[in-house]
A and B are shown apart, each in its own frame.
Chain A
Amino acid sequence: MEILGVAGSLRRGSYNRMLLRAAGASLPPGVRFTEYDGLKAIPAFDEDDEASLPLSVSRWRAAIAGAGGILFATPEYNSSVPGHLKNAIDWASRPFSATVLRNKPVAVIGASTGMFGAVWSQAETRKALAAAGARVIDRELAVPFAHEAFDEAGSLRDGDLTLELDNILVELLDAIKQRVVA
């Protein structure tokens, strides 16, 4: 079983990538966690480019198709989803009737340096994923003050947040297992 991790922040020191890695480290044995690194290369969505799909988009869609589920960790830009992340979801959602996101179990978590932990961005990412046909876990993990949230080993310092992250991962894994069994 593979979970694809997608950080909605591109910068090298991204707190959301740290959050993603903390999630990956707490997955049970037997679950492979792969961090997607190609978001920055995906061009702006253009229907005219669909006839000759950019390689970066083909790679993105193939990564989604090959994963059992996806864990998104997103920051919040201007109270909403980072443009490149929404753009990547838009590319993945096409063509709508045959999207690789259809029924794909997905969960969204997020971190921000402010006090709200990217809650609006998470909500809007879930909304876009649901509209695309994904099976969205109806939970959020808001990690506020992200610059203080991790210890030297990269783990979340807060026990409640750690527990909530574990709960989200359990739900995501259950949703993936249900598909495998079916």
Chain B
Amino acid sequence: MSVTDVALSSTGLPVGTWKLDPTHSSASFAVKHMGVSTFRGRFEQFDATLTIDEDSAQLAGTVEASSLVVKDENLQAHLGSPEFFDLERYPQITFQSDSIRREGDELIIDGPLTIKDHTHPVESRGTIAGPAVTLGDVTKLGITLETVVDRTEYGLNWNAPLPRGGFAVANDVKLTVELELVLS
């Protein structure tokens, strides 16, 4: 990794305004399906900005929920319906950090996550890599974050009982973002 001259804040985070490189970033979810496998979906459109100065750090993110992509158009329609994301009323998912802590390469970010008309605090954990000077003399930072939320707390309540117990879709959903951020 190339050495950069980016200063570190008092919290050990690299000072600057870091904007998303959407091509090299992803936002996805994973949920247990039929009690036996993991079903994954992703969002194609989202944005994030990490702002770090000497004394504070903030991460703000917006996901266009209507950019949800799964492999079946009927399932996609169901996920967009009022039983799940209710895209007509709630086209965006938002996150705003309250605190960001760095412990070595580990990153812990707390803040409210809003899906539909429900807002709950979440703690997300992940890694931070960089900053690094990349091609074209562009300075980049890599962040990966994961959190697990109970989808029913956000009004995504649909389910179907299985014949011998259990349900088709778990309530716990893992949300993952992998962000490649550019120093602006």
Which residues on A are within 8 Å of B, measured CB to CB? 96-99, 102-103, 130-131, 133-136, 178-179, 182
Query: Inside 8 A of B74's CB, which chain A residues have their CB?
Result: 96-97
User: Is there contact, CB below 8 Å, between B88 and A133?
Assistant: no
In this assembly, does B55 line the interface, its C-beta being within 8 Å of a C-beta of chain A? no
Please give the distance in Å from B160's CB to the nearest CB on chain A.
10
User: Is there contact, CB below 8 Å, between B89 and A133?
Assistant: no
User: Is there contact, CB below 8 Å, between B88 and A179?
Assistant: yes
Which residues on B are within 8 Å of A, measured CB to CB? 73-74, 76-78, 81-83, 88-89
Query: Inside 8 A of B76's CB, which chain A residues have their CB?
Result: 97
Nearest first, the 6 closest Cβ-Cβ pairs linking A and B are: A133-B81, A97-B77, A97-B73, A103-B88, A96-B74, A135-B82
User: Can you list 8 residue pairs at the A/B interface with Cβ under 8 Å?
Assistant: A97-B76, A102-B77, A103-B88, A130-B81, A131-B83, A133-B77, A133-B83, A182-B89
Query: Inside 8 A of B81's CB, which chain A residues have their CB?
Result: 102-103, 130, 133
Given that A179-B88, A182-B88, A182-B89 are known contacts, is A130 also in contact with B73, CB under 8 Å in the complex?
no
Query: Inside 8 A of A133's CB, which chain B residues have their CB?
Result: 77-78, 81-83
Which single residue of chain B is at the shortest CB-CB distance from A130? B83
Which single residue of chain A is at the shortest CB-CB distance from B82? A135
Query: Inside 8 A of B88's CB, which chain A residues have their CB?
Result: 103, 135, 179, 182
Given A97-B73, A97-B76, A130-B81, 7 extra CB contacts under 8 A: A96-B78, A97-B74, A130-B83, A131-B83, A133-B83, A136-B82, A182-B88
Please give the distance in Å from A132's CB to the nearest CB on chain B.
8
